[in-house]
C-alpha cells in the first residue's frame, strides 16, 4: 500500500522530487564543491526559477538559509534597530514576535485568538515601528491574511518595511512584490521537498536598512548578515557550505512547476480547498475551525473534531493516509489537512471518501 | 567510468550513503513530521551513535545546526560576554575570529602563516579571554593542531572555555572530551554525507555560561540559543523544522562506522596519509606544503604544484578523479587531497598511480 501525506510540512514530496533526488545522486551533486562552476549554475537556476515562478522582480535578492525560522532571525537582525510590529494570529507569528524580543529588540504586537482575523482598520501601528511582520498563512490555526490587506498596510505606511511569512502558502498566493519588502519560506511545504532549506527574499530597502545599522555599529549577525549574504549571492554562492542538494532540488521542482503552470497550480489549489471545506461544512461530526470564510487558508485546512482526532488519524493511517493533528493544545481536538501542489484532486477525493467511510 | 572525489568537502559520499538515501525515500523519511515519535527516535539514535563513535561523554549535549559556520556563531553568542581568543592558522580559524568581531565581541588572536604551526609555550592568552578557539585541522592550509597541545592549554587555563573546530578531521582524532568544552563539525567531510547539517557538541559549562549571559540581559541569539536548543534536544527535537534527512543519514552512517570499527578507521587514515605524504616527499615535481611533519593534517593533504595545479586537476578529471585545488590565493599553486573514511586504501593507490602517470 502506498502512503500519502496530508501533513502540513514536512508533507508529501512533490511527484518529481524522488526522480530528481535519484538523478542528483547519479550525477554526484552531493559531492560537488560549493565553490565550483557547476554549483554556481545550480544556484543561479534555483534563483531564476524561483523568481520566475513567484513573479519576484529582478531587483529582489534571494538568499538561502537553514530554515524559515532562521529567516525570521535574520530579518529582525538586519531590518530592525529597535522596534518591530507583529500581527500575531497563531504560533508562528508569535515565534516571529518572540525572536525579535530574544534579539534584544522591542517588539509590539496586535494579537487575535487562533482561528480569528484582524480588523485592519482599527489597528494603530506605532510611528516608531520600523518593520511590520505578518504571517500570510498561519500553519497553527489555518487562517490567512488577504494580500490586499497587506498591500493596504504598505500604502498607509510606505516608510516602514513589510516582511511576509509565506511558509505554508507558497507558491499559492500571487504576490505583488512591489508592495512588500521581504518574504520567506521553507521548502518542505508547498514545494514538496526534503526539509532543511529556508529561502529569504528581500528588496533593496531591506539591504539599505541593514547597511545603515552596520554603519551605526549595530550587529546584524555574522556570516548570514545581509551584506555577507549579498556578497556571496552576487557570485551565485553561499558563505558557508550550504544544503547543496536542497538548492538543486529547489531549482528542479520550481522548473517543473513552471512547466506545469503556476496559474493551473493556483486554480487547482482553490478547487481542492473548496472541496475540502464544502465537505466539512456538510459533515455531521466535524467542521472547519475557521468560521470566517474570507480568512480561511487555501493551503492549510484546520478541522474541528469534537469526538477527538486520535481515532480519525489512526484509522486513516491504516488506509495509507497521514493527516496532521491539531497544533499543540489543539492536538486532540483538531485535524489539519495540507492542500499543496503535490496533492492531486484525486488524492483529495480519496481522502474525503475515506473520511466519509469512517 | 565512475568518479571518485578527493575534494576536501563536499567529498565522496560514504559507501553506504546512497543506500541509506534510497531507503529514506522508500520509507517516507522526508515526509515525516519533525514532531512525530518516529522522528524523535531518529534524532535519539543520531545523538547516541555520534556519542558512541566519537567517545562523547553522556554529560555533553549534541545540537543540530545548519552548518559548522553556524556553530561558530552560536558558540560566540552563547559563550562570550566580551573576549574570545583565537588561534588563527588559515581561513577557517580566521572566520571564527571574524564572526566574534561581527557579533560585537572583542576577539584577540595569535596568527601564523598558512602551513605553519604555533609555538604554544610562547603564547600568552589574556586573563580576560573567556573562550579559546582552535581549528584542529585547517582545511585551507592542511595543518593540524595536536590534541595534546589543546589539552595542555586547558590545563593552564581551566577557567576558560575551549572550543575546537573538528570539521575536517572528524571522526579521525581521538578526543578526550573531558579536556575540552565544545567541538563542532559538519557532515559533508569525514562522514561523507550531503552538505547542509552542522553538529555542535557542548558541555554543561558552556550551557552555564549561556545562562549567565541571558541572566545579565545579553542576547545569546534566538531560536538557536543554547537554552532553546537544549529545551528541544531534551525532547529529541529541534525548534525549527530541521534537515530531517541529514539527521537520519548521520544516524545511519555513524552506525555503519561503529560497525566497521572506529579504531580501524583511525588506523587506515594514518596508513593512507603516510602513503600520500611519502609519495609526494619522493616526487620530483610536487611536495607537501606543510614541512613540519608533526602538524601535517592526516585528513587534508595540501601539496605544492610549482608547475601549476590546473593541468593536474584537469588530467585527473579525465581519469574520473576529482581533486581539490588550493584555497583561494593558492588555487593555482596547490592541490588538496582529502583522506576521509570513505576513501579506501585502493582508492588512494589508484590516485597516486594516476598522478605518477601524469
- The 8-class DSSP code of residue B53 comes to H
Check whether A328 has a pLDDT greater than 70: yes
Q: What is the mean pLDDT of chain A?
A: 97
CA angle, B8 then B14 then B304, to 5°:
20
C-alpha cell at B357: 602517470
A324/B240 Cβ within 8 A: no
Return the SS3 of B180: coil
What is the pTM for the complete model shown? Answer: 0.98
Q: In this predicted model, what pLDDT tens digit does every residue of B12-40 receive, in sequence order?
A: 999 999 999 999 999 999 999 999 999 99
Q: What average pLDDT score do residues B234-251 get?
A: 98
Contacts of B28 in chain A (CB under 8 A): 3, 5
Check whether B182 has a pLDDT greater than 70: yes
Q: In this predicted model, what pLDDT tens digit does every residue of A296-312 receive, in sequence order?
A: 999 999 999 999 999 99
Check whether A355 has a pLDDT greater than 80: yes
| Facing residue for A241 by CB, picked from B22, B186, B240 | B186
By the 10 Å C-beta count (0-12 exposed, 13-18 middle, 19+ buried), B194 is classed as buried
Identify the band that residue A1 occupies on the pLDDT scale cut at 50, 70 and 90.
low
User: B288 φ, ψ to 5°?
Assistant: -60, 140
| Facing residue for B70 by CB, picked from A12, A21, A66 | A66
Q: In this predicted model, what pLDDT tens digit does every residue of A43-64 receive, in sequence order?
A: 999 999 999 999 999 999 999 9
Contacts of B244 in chain A (CB under 8 A): 10, 194-196
Q: What average pLDDT score do residues B64-84 get?
A: 98
Q: Which of B102, B191, B216, B343 to mutate to test the interface with A (most CBs of A within 10 A)?
A: B102
Rounded Cα–Cα distance for residues B41 and B247 (Å): 11
Q: How far is B6 from chain A (nearest CA, A)?
A: 9
Residue (of A202, A146, A198, A137) closest to A165 by Cα position: A137
B69/A66 Cβ within 8 A: no
Contacts of B243 in chain A (CB under 8 A): 66, 194-196, 243, 246
Q: How far is B137 from chain A (nearest CA, A)?
A: 17
Cell 516608510, residue? A159
Please name every residue paired with B63 in a beta bridge, in sequence order, or none if there are none.
Answer: B200
Q: What is the pLDDT of residue B44?
A: 98
Check whether B102 has a pLDDT greater than 60: yes
Q: In this predicted model, what pLDDT tens digit does every residue of B285-311 receive, in sequence order?
A: 999 999 999 999 999 999 999 999 999
C-alpha cell at A48: 531564476
Q: How many inter-chain contacts (A to B, CB under 8 Å) are there? A: 177
Q: In this predicted model, what pLDDT tens digit does every residue of A103-120 receive, in sequence order?
A: 999 999 999 999 999 999
Q: What is the pLDDT of residue B2?
A: 74
A34/B10 Cβ within 8 A: yes
B244/A34 Cβ within 8 A: no
- Do the interacting molecules here have an ipTM over 0.95? yes
What totals of helices (H) and strands (E) does chain B contain, helices first?
11, 15
Contacts of A13 in chain B (CB under 8 A): 25, 30-31
Q: In this predicted model, what pLDDT tens digit does every residue of B259-285 receive, in sequence order?
A: 999 999 999 999 999 999 999 999 999
Check whether B1 has a pLDDT greater than 60: no
A70/B33 Cβ within 8 A: no
Q: How far is B155 from chain A (nearest CA, A)?
A: 31
Q: What average pLDDT score do residues A35-41 get?
A: 97
Rounded Cα–Cα distance for residues A177 and A61 (Å): 12
Q: What is the pLDDT of residue A2?
A: 74
Q: What average pLDDT score do residues B350-358 get?
A: 96
**What are the angstrom distances between the C-alpha of A134 and each of A83, A100, A220, A221, B82?**
15, 13, 21, 22, 35
A21/B25 Cβ within 8 A: yes
Rounded Cα–Cα distance for residues A313 and B286 (Å): 65
- Percent of chain A past pLDDT 70, that is, above it, reads 100
B25/A25 Cβ within 8 A: no
Contacts of A72 in chain B (CB under 8 A): 222-223
DSSP B149-174: HHHHHHHH-TTSEEEEE-TTTTTSS-
Residue (of B82, B217, B239) closest to A104 by Cα position: B217
Amino acid at each position: 500500500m502506498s502512503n500519502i501525506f496530508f501533513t502540513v510540512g514536512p508533507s508529501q514530496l512533490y511527484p518529481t522530487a524522488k526522480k530528481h533526488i535519484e538523478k542528483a545522486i547519479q550525477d554526484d551533486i552531493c559531492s560537488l564543491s560549493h565553490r565550483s562552476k557547476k554549483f554556481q549554475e545550480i544556484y543561479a537556476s534555483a534563483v531564476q526559477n524561483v523568481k520566475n515562478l513567484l513573479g519576484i522582480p529582478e531587483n529582489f535578492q534571494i538568499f538561502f538559509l537553514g530554515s524559515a525560522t532562521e529567516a525570521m532571525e535574520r530579518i529582525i537582525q538586519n531590518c530592525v534597530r529597535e522596534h518591530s510590529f507583529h500581527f500575531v494570529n497563531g504560533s508562528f507569528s508569535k515565534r516571529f514576535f518572540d525572536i525579535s524580543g530574544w534579539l534584544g529588540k522591542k517588539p509590539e504586537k496586535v494579537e487575535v485568538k487562533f482561528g480569528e482575523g484582524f480588523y485592519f482598520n482599527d489597528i494603530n501601528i506605532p510611528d516608531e515601528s520600523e518593520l511590520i511582520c505578518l504571517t500570510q498563512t498561519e500553519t497553527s490555526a489555518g487562517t490567512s491574511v488577504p494580500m490586499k490587506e497587506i498591500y493596504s498596510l504598505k500604502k498607509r505606511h510606505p516608510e516602514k518595511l513589510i516582511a511576509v511569512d509565506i511558509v505554508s502558502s507558497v507558491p499559492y498566493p500571487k504576490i505583488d512584490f512591489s508592495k512588500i519588502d521581504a518574504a520567506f519560506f521553507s521548502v518542505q511545504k508547498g514545494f514538496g521537498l526534503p526539509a532543511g532549506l529556508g529561502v529569504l527574499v528581500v528588496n533593496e530597502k531591506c539591504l539599505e536598512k541593514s547597511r545603515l545599522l552596520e554603519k551605526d555599529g549595530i550587529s546584524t549577525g555574522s556570516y548570514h548578515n545581509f551584506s555577507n549574504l549579498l556578497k556571496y549571492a552576487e557570485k551565485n554562492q553561499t558563505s558557508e557550505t550550504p544544503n547543496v542538494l536542497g538548492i538543486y532540488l529547489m531549482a528542479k521542482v520550481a522548473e517543473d512547476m513552471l512547466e506545469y503552470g503556476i496559474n493551473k497550480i493556483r486554480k487547482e489549489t482553490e478547487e481542492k480547498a473548496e472541496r475540502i471545506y464544502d465537505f466539512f461544512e456538510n459533515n455531521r461530526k466535524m467542521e472547519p475551525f475557521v468560521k470566517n470564510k474570507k480568512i480561511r487558508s487555501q493551503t492549510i485546512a484546520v478541522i474541528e473534531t469534537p469526538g477527538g482526532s486520535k481515532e480519525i488519524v489512526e484509522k486513516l493511517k491504516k488506509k495509507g493516509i497521514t493527516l496532521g493533528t491539531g497544533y499543540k493544545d489543539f492536538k486532540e481536538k483538531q485535524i489539519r489537512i495540507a492542500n499543496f501542489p503535490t496533492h492531486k484532486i484525486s488524492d483529495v477525493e480519496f481522502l474525503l471518501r475515506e473520511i466519509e467511510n469512517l
